[in-house]
Structure 1
Amino acid sequence: MNDIDAWVWWLVGAAALGIPLVVTAMPEFGMLAVGAVAAAVVAGFGFDLVVQVIAFLVVSVALIAVVRPIATRHSRQRPQLATGIDALKGKQAVVLERVDGSGGRIKLAGEIWSARSLDTGRAYDVGAEVDVVDIEGATAIVM
């Protein structure tokens, strides 16, 4: 196997590692593919197989050891900007029609919502301010 064959084989290996990266969405395959590209570069400069394998291992392990924990930490963080119904939880609303355990209407974020009381024995009269605890479908749960 001559030098040109070696770097081509490393690039074929990188492409082969890219396929499961796309199919499984596991970033580790991408990191291994980058290691294979590094080995292809080393092979292109004419280094022998041992140096190529060492370059592949060093780059791959370094990426997995450094990038993977950072990516895992970021994937577990909640978005700082709440949108949709998550943005409505914890907001205050004004009662438009009496709200009790069976229903009612509130004005929440400029829109009229159906609502019901979290505590089924509690009722809120027109004009009262309530806190939105949860959203179930199109109904706000208030207290």
Structure 2
Amino acid sequence: MDWIADTQWLWWVAAALVLGLIEIASLDLVFTMLAAAALAAAVAAGVGLSFPLQVIVFVVAALILLALLRPLLLRRLNLTGPAVPTNSDANVGQRAEVITQVTDRSGTVKLRGEQWSARSEDPAQPFPPGEILQVIRIDGATAVVAPR
């Protein structure tokens, strides 16, 4: 049973590694703070403190890190920036060249090098091939276009 007391620090390090892996999946900095607290408890175990004191070191370190360091890091990282449009949302506002006549029911355009089905936003206005339009919105897999 002496090997358990001799390797307590190693168990804390293993807990820190597991918490670090969980942080990779969550990216919220909570598990990073808990991993750092587990490392503090590993140091406490390395200097010979009893297990109840190691747990107290872990809890106190976790509370301090979560209450003080995490908010500072979140502000520094500025994780609340503007959202960047991706996928089909990134096509809104882009230039599109008419391939086949675009009406309010059918047509195709070349959008960012790809052929898209398209329809006119204005039912009374068809667009002939070669005309340059702007994508107003994406409805499913169809680009809704209007004059630039």
TM-score normalised by length of structure 2: 0.63
Q: Structure 2 unaligned segments of length 5 or more: list them.
A: none
Residue 109 (structure 1) aligns with: 112
| Pairing of 1:127-138 with structure 2 (within 5 A) | 127-138=130-141
Q: Provide the rounded CA distance (Å) in 2 between the counterparts of 1:43 and 1:98.
A: 75
Change (3 A) 1:12 1:59: closer
Change (3 A) 1:57 1:74: same
More deviation, 122-131/45-54:
45-54
Q: Provide the rounded CA distance (Å) in 1 between the counterparts of 2:82 and 2:11.
A: 35
CA contact (8 A) 1:106 1:115 kept: yes
CA contact (8 A) 1:10 1:39 kept: no
Deviation at 1:93, TM superposition (A): 1.1
Residue 8 (structure 1) aligns with: 8
Of 75, 79, 92, the residue aligned with 1:74 is 79
1:61-90: per-residue Cα shift (whole Å, max 9, x none)?
2432333661995277534xx554333221
Change (3 A) 1:123 1:77: same
Q: Provide the rounded CA distance (Å) in 2 between the counterparts of 1:9 and 1:46.
A: 9
The number of equivalent residue pairs is: 137
Deviation at 1:49, TM superposition (A): 6.1
Of 92, 99, 106, the residue aligned with 1:89 is 92
Q: Structure 1 unaligned segments of length 5 or more: list them.
A: none
TM-score normalised by length of structure 1: 0.65
Q: Provide the rounded CA distance (Å) in 2 between the counterparts of 1:118 and 1:63.
A: 54
More deviation, 85-94/47-56:
47-56
Deviation at 1:33, TM superposition (A): 3.6
CA contact (8 A) 1:17 1:32 kept: no
Change (3 A) 1:111 1:48: closer
CA contact (8 A) 2:13 2:42 kept: no
Tell me the SS of whatever aligns to 1:85: helix
Aligned alpha-carbon RMSD (Å): 3.9
1:18 matched to 2:53? no
Tell me the SS of whatever aligns to 2:48: coil
